[in-house]
Amino acid sequence: MAEAAAALGQFDFAGDDHVVPFQVEGLDVRGRAVQLGPMLDAILERHHYPAPVARLLAEVVVLTVLLGTSLKFDGKFTVQTKGDGPVDLLVADFSTPENVRAYARFDRALLDQAIASGETEPEQLLGKGVLAFTIDQGKFAQPYQGIVALDGTSLEDIAGVYFRQSEQIPTRVRLAAAELFDRDDAGKPRHRWRAGGLVAQFLPEAPERMRQPDLHGGDGDDGDRPHGEDDAWTEARSLVETIDADELTDPQVGTERLLFRLFHERGVRVFEPRAVFDRCSCSREKIGNVLKGFTAEEIEASQENGEISVTCEFCSTTYRFEAAELQPAE
């Protein structure tokens, strides 16, 4: 009797939109990997972003999911870029335990110029600025924010700098996004977005093994200071760097198969996958409470034909309020 094929979400086959935690005991490495499909496609297609913008936001969503699912408490993890390039804002947040939303802002004229001149690499579109990682544990704790510079390198490399500065944990991040053009079950042309990523961290029992080469000190630093990176981390990092972008996004590869390809000689273990969903945290009640804080003059200025309309930038849901219901009681 033939064995039943593994279904999406089962332990031995995570499939799309499921984060897979893993551990490589032989290298003292832990991490998470993911392939995003329908969830990501819904976020991007909702706004009809131009392809270069969609690709950038897809990488930010992957990074947010990989890091946000590591939270051990109820809260929100946000990744945000602010730069002087054509894509001046990217933001994605993960609300525990499983909800993701994202948004991009760009200057259409500057983006068209960049596309026409072939300047569509991520660092060219983002320009100079900052990448911020924010952890919010709610009203009973102060938010924590780590900031690193957008310095003309990839989001992968910038995320690695963040970990070195904030947690001092050797970390390697890989990110990729891809457009798929195929046909649906009825034979009609179909366009979809996919993305994938992996984060690997070196976490040996002896903290002194986590030493790394110093970050470059700027002008006058010859970069020749001695260092002694652990051999296990050198091997793990080298393996992660062999990943092709196609492997991170190809549904025929799959997360577990990729992890096996990378680490099987060292004994990789995968754990129960965690599903993530395209769900916005906006609501009529939340927006109404914000509007009720407006003065009578602000309400008057915001209304049109006796109505105030507010559209969520993340999910594009429009909420409408009668101006009368927002007036303070006399």
Please indicate, yes or no, whether residues 158 and 77 belong to a single structural domain of this protein: yes
Report the C-alpha gap between 182 and 3 in whole angstroms.
Answer: 29
Q: Which of 278, 300, 317 represents a domain boundary (last residue)?
A: 278
What's the pLDDT score for residue 82?
Answer: 96
Residue 265, both tokens: 């000689």
Decide if pLDDT at 123 tops 70. yes
Q: Between β-strands 129-136 and 268-270, what pairing exists: parallel, antiparallel or unpaired?
A: unpaired
pTM of the model: 0.87
Query: Does residue 52 belong to any structural domain of this protein?
Result: yes
In a domain, 151, yes or no: yes
Give the model confidence (pLDDT) of 188-246 as tens digits: 888 899 999 999 999 987 777 777 665 555 545 555 444 568 899 999 999 999 999 99
**The pLDDT of residue 2:** 42
Co-location of 95 and 75 in the same domain = yes
Instruction: Judge if 177 and 320 occupy the same domain.
Output: no
Rounded percentage of the chain residues whose pLDDT exceeds 90:
59
Same domain flag for 291 and 171: no
HSE (side-chain half, CA atoms, 13 Å) at 283: 4
Same domain, 32 and 145: yes
- What's residue 213's pLDDT? 60
CA distance 255 to 33: 7
Is residue 3 domain-resident?
no
Q: Are 240 and 317 within one domain?
A: no
Residue 4 lies in a domain: no
Same domain, yes or no: 187 and 254: yes
Query: 260, 278, 296: which is the final residue of a domain?
Result: 278
Does residue 89 belong to any structural domain of this protein? yes
pLDDT tens-digit series, residues 208-219: 777 766 555 554
Confidence band, pLDDT 50/70/90 cuts, at residue 91? very high
User: Same domain, yes or no, for 312 and 168?
Assistant: no
Is 10 among the domain residues? no
The rounded distance, in Å, linking the Cα atoms of 33 and 259 is 8
User: Does residue 159 sit in the same domain as residue 24?
Assistant: yes
Q: How far apart are the first and last CA of the chain?
A: 76
Residue 306: which domain range?
A: 284-325
The string of DSSP letters for 94-156 reads: EETTTEEEEEEE--HHHHHHHHHTT--SHHHHH-SEEEEEEEE--TTS--EEEEEEE-SS-HH
User: Residue 95: pLDDT above 90?
Assistant: yes
> Does 151 share its domain with 234?
yes
For the chain, the domain total comes to 2
How would you classify the pairing of strands 268-270 and 274-275?
A: unpaired
CATH code, domain with 99: 3.55.30.10
pLDDT at residue 44 in the model: 95
The overall average pLDDT reported for the chain is 87
pLDDT (tens digit, 9 = 90+) per residue, 255-268?
Answer: 999 999 999 999 99
Residue 80 in any domain: the answer is: yes
At 152, is the pLDDT very low, low, confident or very high (cuts 50, 70, 90)? Answer: confident
108 and 249 inside one domain = yes
Average pLDDT rounded to a whole number, residues 167-180: 91
Confidence (pLDDT) at 327: 65
Query: If you average pLDDT over residues 116-131, what whole number do you get?
Result: 93
Task: State how far the Cα of 71 lies from the Cα of 176, in Å rounded to an integer.
Answer: 23
Mark which of 246, 263, 278 sits at the end of a domain.
278
In-domain check, residue 13: no
Which residues, listed in sequence order, are joined to residue 93 by a DSSP beta bridge?
78, 101
* Same domain assignment for residues 33 and 122: yes
